[in-house]
Structure 1
Amino acid sequence: MKKLVLVAAIAATTFGAVSTAQAEVTTTANANLATDYKFRGISQTNGGPAFQGGFDAAFSNGFYVGNWNSNVNFPGVGSGLSSGSAGLEMDFYGGYAGSLANGIGYDVGALYYFYEGVPIAAGAPELDTLEIYGKVSYAGAYAKLSYAVTEDYFGVAAANGSIDQSGSTYLDLGYTLALSDALSLTAHYGLTSYDKDVANNRLGTGTVDSYADYSLAATYAISPKYSVTAAYIDVDDDGVDFFNNEQITDGSLVVTFSAKF
């Protein structure tokens, strides 16, 4: 019930603001087929392929809501999950975006990650996570900070046994360079900072307070509706130490075919 209340709260807040302003709405849908699903540098499909899709509704007054979904398959290391825990990730989000006269864009909102069909070991933290975020962008560059509101944070427990990781953050920095009308390059750096230190599972001693992920991607627009992206994605040694599973942490090339409707 708590999960449904969180999703409903995001939708109600956004739609309430929209209805007051009687804004016009533009809806779009998307679908992806990827060789792997990596989230913040870590494979969410145990190195396997992913089929993903969702929809977005953007209102003329700047508000928006959306949903995005993907299959997942977690190996269990570092999260308390049983081995081979397959299921579905469903993301629900809403917010407000706009731009200033000087060309600086901004975006604030909330995003709820909901996981269906993934078994959780007794006493382990849940995967379901609610984050609020703020983003600024300018001329191809952006900076975004996400802040965890829920105690549960993607199934991560602290080294001291606490399952309360509220206050954990994710810093997302990136820059996209358009090489032509069809081809672009995007560089990304991310930093996950845990509110409470997590265990160094690889060494079996010590703790980890954060880890970084990074990627370099090339996207080619086949047409206005279809595109293909090739991205090399990796994490630093701290990420390897915590997750302690080469299948999900090793740097790799991920190819994604995308469609917009």
Structure 2
Amino acid sequence: MTSSSRKLRAAVLLALTATAIGTAAPALADGDAAWTFPVNVGVVSDYIFRGQSQTWGKPALQVSAEADHASGAYIGVAASNVSDHWLPGATVELDIYGGYRGKIADTVGYDIGLIYYTYPGANWSDSVFTGFNAKNSLNTLEASVAFSYEWLTFKTGATLTEYFGWSTNNSPTNGGFFGDAAAGVTGSTRYSPFVELNAAYEVAEGWTVNGQLGHQMIRHSTGLDITYFKAGVSKAFADGWTVGASYSVSSEPNAYKNFLSLANGTSASDIARDKFFVSVNKAF
């Protein structure tokens, strides 16, 4: 499949997802008062996930919808365009997630969840690098638990599958990362853990200061673990619109510098470079 046809498929899938979310949620909301169905549509100038750009530095259209029960149980779906330069063969990320939220006290809460990151039609066999493109799915299942206190949230979790399909074939030492030949995967990346501390403090009506400090460890690897930090501010309006601006900083291991495109083998990008980005979201 050509790059243009993949982009067309991504646009169609995102449009269909947004349409389905927009039409289904109001109908469901009328059925049971115990359920609520928040929907969000947004645009971000760069989709940064744990310090790494998923869109090769380009903007992303993102949509999400949840079904939240009064008991605390929830299930949701989220979609975003991504880049096949970084995620071989991928143009869309489709996440399916669910879990249970509750409170231990008025100011103390918890959230136990699972998320399945999927990339329809994508596979590591789509990598252009011969010898590093054995068939392997990018799809990843991750479990997490979070505890919140007022405006602070601590979250930790681990992948229950390989970390986005990274293996000794496609991401090895001496061949997988051109920014650092010694960096790479040395065994199974299953059970790769992360920890995060997030903050969201409302300093004035509608104005919130946000912060994030986290660390992602790639199990059985060298030179790939990353520490990331994000700080920003957002403004919420009464009609459901929110605009935000943030700055992302990471430890940027050398492995992620001048990362060669998995789609063409020639383009290069600093995947985890420091980056200022903006977002616009509409909640329904």
**d(CA) in 2 for partners of 1:153, 1:23:** 39
Q: What is the one-letter code of the residue matched to 1:189?
A: L
- For residue 29 of structure 1, the aligned residue among 39, 47, 52 is 39
Are 1:241 and 2:245 counterparts? no
TM-score by length of 2: 0.73
Which moved further from structure 2: 141-150 or 240-249? 240-249
**d(CA) in 1 for partners of 2:39, 2:257:** 33
RMSD: 2.1
Query: Which residue does 1:137 correspond to in 2?
Result: 148
What percent of counterpart residues are identical? Answer: 28
Looking at secondary structure, tell me which structure has more strand per residue: 1
Query: Which residue does 1:172 correspond to in 2?
Result: 196
**d(CA) in 1 for partners of 2:224, 2:220:** 7
Query: Which residue does 1:223 correspond to in 2?
Result: 238
**What's the offset of the Cα at 1:119?**
4.2
**What's the offset of the Cα at 1:244?**
4.3
Query: Which residue does 2:167 correspond to in 1?
Result: 157
Q: What is the one-letter code of the residue matched to 1:210?
A: D
CA offsets 1:25-78 (integer angstroms, 9 cap, x no match): 1111110111111111111111111001010011011100000000000324xx
**d(CA) in 2 for partners of 1:257, 1:36:** 12
Secondary structure in 2 matching 1:248: coil
Secondary structure in 1 matching 2:255: helix
Q: What is the one-letter code of the residue matched to 2:255?
A: D
Q: Where in structure 2 are the equivalents of 1:192-207 lying within 5 Å? A: 192-197=216-221, 207=222
**What's the offset of the Cα at 1:87?**
1.1
**d(CA) in 2 for partners of 1:229, 1:241:** 30
CA offsets 1:77-108 (integer angstroms, 9 cap, x no match): xx7x3xxx441100001100011125210000
CA offsets 1:145-166 (integer angstroms, 9 cap, x no match): 121101x212323546666311
**d(CA) in 1 for partners of 2:270, 2:187:** 25
**What's the offset of the Cα at 1:247?**
3.8
**d(CA) in 1 for partners of 2:115, 2:100:** 12
Runs of at least 5 residues in structure 1 that lack an aligned partner in the other structure: 1-21, 198-206
Runs of at least 5 residues in structure 2 that lack an aligned partner in the other structure: 1-31, 126-132, 174-184, 260-268
TM-score by length of 1: 0.79
**d(CA) in 1 for partners of 2:110, 2:270:** 36
**d(CA) in 2 for partners of 1:174, 1:244:** 29
Query: Which residue does 1:90 correspond to in 2?
Result: 94
